[in-house]
Amino acid sequence: MNAYKITVSGRVQKRGYRNKVFQLANELDVNGYVKNLPTGEVEIVAEHANEAVLQQFIQKIKSVNGLIKVTGAKIEAVAPEDHTDFEITRADKMDELLESMDFGAQYLADISNAVREVSGKQDQMLGKQDEALYKQDQALSEIKGLRSDLGTFLKKEVKEIINAEVADIRRELKLIKQKVGA
């Protein structure tokens, strides 16, 4: 049997870290316990017959999620105590419950503030998008007006060019007729 005592530091108390360790221990069939220390650290004792399983467990408990941030893990080999399961050792249950509720309330307040901030930024983005659409509509209207004006101008110009060309052809025909004697 292999056994390790792991002292984990970072943001690991009042964040669901012990429950995460408990779940990992159950997934890997690791025995032992996890408990909070007065220093703000968490102590884990892990036992398993297979050293590779313990190493996998140690790697997984160092991982980070949104609330938990492991900044250090002091690992020392210890004599096995032949634990038969894995448990969370808790201090006074009422104190822990109240602390968890305080943390949960603060976390929900942080989430609420973040949502409000994102909502405000989204409103700003929608306002800018509306401005862009308005400018786009103005540009399209201007392009349509220019297109109409250009069409009218080209019709007039083409008509004048054709009339001038026809007049030139008539003059040349008249000159040719005069030369031919018709």
Q: Give residue 102's pLDDT.
A: 65
Edge-first strand order for the sheet with 69-77 is 69-77, 2-11, 42-48, 31-36, 86-89
Which of 15, 26, 36, 50 is the catalytic position? 36
Q: Give residue 45's pLDDT.
A: 96
Which of 18, 31, 116, 163 is the catalytic position? 18
Q: Give residue 9's pLDDT.
A: 93
113 is catalytic: no
CA–CA distance, 71 with 8 (Å, rounded to integer): 8
Q: Give residue 182's pLDDT.
A: 59
Helices 17-28/51-61 angle, 10° precision: 160
Residue 106: name the closest of 11, 19, 7, 10 by CA. 11
Cα 26 versus chain centre, distance: 31
Q: Give the bridge partners for 83, in sequence order.
A: none
82: helix, strand or coil: coil
18 is catalytic: yes
H or E stretch including 71?
A: strand 69-77
Tens-digit pLDDT string for the chain (182 aa): 999 999 999 988 887 888 889 999 999 999 999 999 999 999 999 999 999 999 999 999 987 677 788 999 999 999 999 999 999 888 777 767 766 776 677 677 778 888 888 888 888 888 889 898 888 989 888 888 888 888 888 888 888 888 888 888 999 888 888 888 75
Q: Give residue 81's pLDDT.
A: 93
Q: Give residue 43's pLDDT.
A: 95
Q: Provide the token pair at 96.
A: 């822990």
42: helix, strand or coil: strand
5 Cβ partners below 8 Å, 6+ apart?
Answer: 43, 44, 45, 75, 76, 78
